[in-house]
Amino acid sequence: MSAYRDKDPRIHGIQSKIRVVPNFPKPGIMFQDITTLLLDPKAFKDTVDLFVERYKGKNISVVAGIEARGFIFGTPIALEIGAKFVPLRKPNKLPGKVISEEYELEYGRDCLEMHLGAVEPGERALVVDDLIATGGTLCAAMKLLERVGAEVVECACVIELPDLKGRRCF
């Protein structure tokens, strides 16, 4: 599947709804805020539609959404393409038996967890998050799915920060 280069006319509307907040969470960071996109029902729907059009009919049975903003985009996509939704969460949130995957932060490490039994070997999966920066979180998500024998078909995000070279993880 190729990266989205020919701009669909809906992209401009989506892009214009994303708010950039300087110096959050700390000085020097320009935060890409998708909450303003969610306030525009048409732009939000267009966002979901663009993903659904890409993934419907591709035999994807799992949409894995990364806590918490991945839940916002992942669940509508899962419902529309008829896939199950699997939340990938920070530690100690999921109540059942989990597998964990550590990943690097700028300072220190964090951990992503997934319920055992949620995904079966051989299932085709999509990973969804609002944004890809360094790719650390997405890589951890992919590893979790691959460890249980799923095939990660693609990772999908609303926004990429290409300077952070997240694509090198793929």
Instruction: Tell me whether residue 106 is one of the annotated catalytic residues.
Output: yes
Instruction: Dig out the tokens for 3 from the structure.
Output: 């990266």
**DSSP assignments along 45-95, one per residue:** HHHHHHHHHHHTTS---EEEEETTHHHHHHHHHHHHHT-EEEEEBSTT---
Residue 75 interacts with other proteins (CB under 8 A)?
yes
> Residue 101 and residue 97: Cα distance in Å, rounded?
14
Minimum CB distance to other proteins, residue 113 (Å): 10
> Residue 24 and residue 65: Cα distance in Å, rounded?
23
Which residue among the candidates 69, 101, 113, 123 is catalytic per the annotation?
A: 69
Residue 52 interacts with other proteins (CB under 8 A)?
no
Residue 67 interacts with other proteins (CB under 8 A)?
yes
Residue 134 interacts with other proteins (CB under 8 A)?
yes
Minimum CB distance to other proteins, residue 18 (Å): 8
On whether the CB atoms of residues 18 and 32 are closer than 8 A, the answer is yes
Which residue among the candidates 5, 106, 109, 168 is catalytic per the annotation?
A: 106
Instruction: Tell me whether residue 69 is one of the annotated catalytic residues.
Output: yes
Residue 136 interacts with other proteins (CB under 8 A)?
yes
On whether the CB atoms of residues 65 and 114 are closer than 8 A, the answer is no
Residue 125 interacts with other proteins (CB under 8 A)?
no
Size of the site for other proteins (CB under 8 A): 87
Residue 93 interacts with other proteins (CB under 8 A)?
yes
**DSSP assignments along 3-30, one per residue:** ---S--HHHHHHHHHPEEEET-SSTT-E
Residue 14 interacts with other proteins (CB under 8 A)?
yes
Candidates 16, 20, 59, 147: give the one binding other proteins (CB under 8 A). Answer: 20
Q: Which residues are catalytic?
A: 69, 106
